[in-house]
């Protein structure tokens, strides 16, 4: 059983111009950061833009920071189990590129989404609305794609994490069933604190209070609140996305600016047997030109 939590990996800002990458990394280091993470757009830039990759690697070297975590692309067709015809080939190509790029950059974990099981109205892709709410079908697609991609992860020694979102195909209970069935040492879960908060009961909160764009992902547009997501995921999580909200919308706030019970979360994180890393997934608009303010915010709620 762990009694400490790993260092937090921080982002320096997805829209950072190449010439400012090093200074923003040094800002994080000066604030006390040890690790860095890349979001999906940064990972793809590092894959496709040699100038961006060079600036990133030089900035990491100069600052002494370690790139530990990345997020794979997570569009509708870039996620595990997408039911759209032809999605699997697209997803597998993107996922392989993501895994190999992450390994080349020296990252240790890569997080993926599982596809939405229902997508309607203004969120429908060009191919039309997704009406598949068959969870057993979603699970079989995910398991099939994991069978294909886990050998790629083995080649790269890359840990794959599946992230809890706020839809039927990404609740903690659904994801743990996938992990239990696969039983692979390089596969685990990514606990997202903000997404968990959206699906958990709070006094006075009703399903109709949840943001409309989340409601439409559920049958009859009615969100089904879940038991504590962290407790369900604890034994299987290898990393975490940490951010805050007020329990009704996916705001990606600094820890302490919402209603998350951080001392309680931290105490449970200490007992997660497979936990390798934590990641700040605070919205870049919250730290703008001072990435280091994330570090101070996390320290203020108990991450030391």
The pLDDT tens digits of the residues spanning 202-231 come to 999 999 999 988 887 887 888 999 989 999
Roughly what angle, to the nearest 10 degrees, separates helices 135-156 and 172-182?
A: 50
pLDDT at 238 over 80: yes
Convert 209-230 to b/e letters by CB count within 10 Å (16 or more is b).
Answer: ebeeebbbbbeebebeebeebb
- For residue 245, give both structure tokens: 């909200």
* Domains of the chain, CATH where assigned: 8-300 (3.20.20.150)
Could you tell me the pLDDT band of residue 236, with boundaries at 50, 70 and 90? very high
β-pair partners for 191 = 240
Phi, psi of 68, rounded to the nearest 5 degrees? -110, -35
Comparison of pLDDT for 41 and 121, the residue scoring more: 41
**pLDDT recorded at residue 158:** 98
Comparison of pLDDT for 277 and 117, the residue scoring more: 277
**pLDDT recorded at residue 216:** 79
Give one DSSP letter per residue of the chain, joined into a string. Answer: --SS-PPEEE---TT--GGGHHHHHHHHHHHT--EEEE-HHHHHHHHH-HHHHHHHHHHHHHHT-EEEEEE---SGGGSBT--STTHHHHHHHHHHHHHHHHHHHT-SEEEEPBPPS-B-GGG--TT--B----HHHHHHHHHHHHHHHHHHHHHHT-EEEEEP-SSGGGSHHHHHHHHHHH--TTEEEEEEHHHHHHHB--TT--GGGS-HHHHTTSGGG----BS-HHHHHTTTEEEEEE-B--SSS---BPTTSSS--HHHHHHHHTT-TT---EEE---GGGTTT-THHHHHHHHHTT--
Could you tell me the pLDDT band of residue 299, with boundaries at 50, 70 and 90? very high
Query: pLDDT tens-digit profile of 64-115?
Result: 999 999 999 998 889 999 888 788 999 999 999 999 999 999 999 999 999 8
**pLDDT recorded at residue 139:** 93
Please state which of the ranges 1-10, 19-28, 45-54, 284-293 shows the lowest mean pLDDT: 1-10
What residue has token string 């764009």?
Answer: 213
pLDDT at 157 over 60: yes
Give one DSSP letter per residue of 148-172, joined into a string. Answer: HHHHHHHHHT-EEEEEP-SSGGGSH
Could you tell me the pLDDT band of residue 130, with boundaries at 50, 70 and 90? low
Could you tell me the pLDDT band of residue 125, with boundaries at 50, 70 and 90? low
pLDDT at 277 over 70: yes
Q: What integer is the mean pLDDT of 166-180?
A: 94
Query: pLDDT tens-digit profile of 14-72?
Result: 999 999 999 999 999 999 999 999 999 999 999 999 999 999 999 999 999 999 999 99
Say how far apart CA 279 and CA 38 lie, in whole Å: 10
Say how far apart CA 8 and CA 304 lie, in whole Å: 9
**pLDDT recorded at residue 124:** 57
Is the alpha carbon torsion for 239, 241, 244, 249 positive or negative?
Answer: negative
**pLDDT recorded at residue 133:** 56
pLDDT at 120 over 50: no
Tell me the whole-structure pTM to 2 decimals. Answer: 0.94
């Amino acid at each position: 059983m762990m009694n400490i939590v790993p260092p937090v990996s921080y982002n320096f800002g997805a829209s950072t111009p190449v010439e400012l990458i090093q200074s923003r990394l040094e800002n994080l280091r000066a604030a006390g950061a040890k690790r860095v993470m890349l979001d999906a757009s940064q990972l793809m830039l590092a894959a496709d833009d040699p100038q961006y990759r060079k600036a990133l690697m030089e900035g990491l070297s100069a600052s002494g920071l370690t790139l530990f975590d990345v997020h794979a692309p997570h569009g509708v067709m870039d996620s595990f189990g997408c039911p759209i015809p032809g999605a699997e080939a697209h997803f597998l190509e993107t996922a392989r590129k993501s895994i190999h790029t992450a390994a080349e950059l020296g990252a240790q974990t890569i997080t993926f989404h599982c596809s939405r099981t229902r997508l309607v109205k203004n969120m429908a892709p060009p191919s039309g609305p997704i009406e598949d709410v068959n969870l057993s079908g979603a699970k079989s697609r995910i398991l099939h794609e994991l069978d294909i991609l886990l050998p790629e992860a083995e080649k790269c020694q890359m840990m794959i994490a599946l992230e809890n979102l706020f839809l039927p195909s990404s609740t903690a209970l659904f994801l743990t069933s996938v992990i239990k069935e696969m039983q692979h040492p390089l596969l685990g879960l990514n606990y997202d604190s903000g997404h968990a908060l959206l699906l958990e009961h709070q006094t006075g909160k009703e399903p109709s209070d949840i943001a409309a764009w989340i409601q439409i992902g559920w049958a009859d547009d009615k969100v089904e609140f879940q038991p504590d997501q962290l407790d369900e995921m604890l034994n299987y999580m290898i990393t975490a996305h940490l951010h805050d909200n007020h329990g009704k919308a996916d705001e990606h706030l600094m820890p302490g600016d919402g209603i998350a019970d951080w001392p309680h979360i931290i105490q449970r994180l200490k007992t997660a047997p497979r936990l390798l890393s934590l990641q700040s997934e605070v919205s870049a608009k919250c730290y703008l030109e001072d990435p280091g303010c994330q570090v101070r915010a996390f320290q203020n709620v108990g991450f030391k």
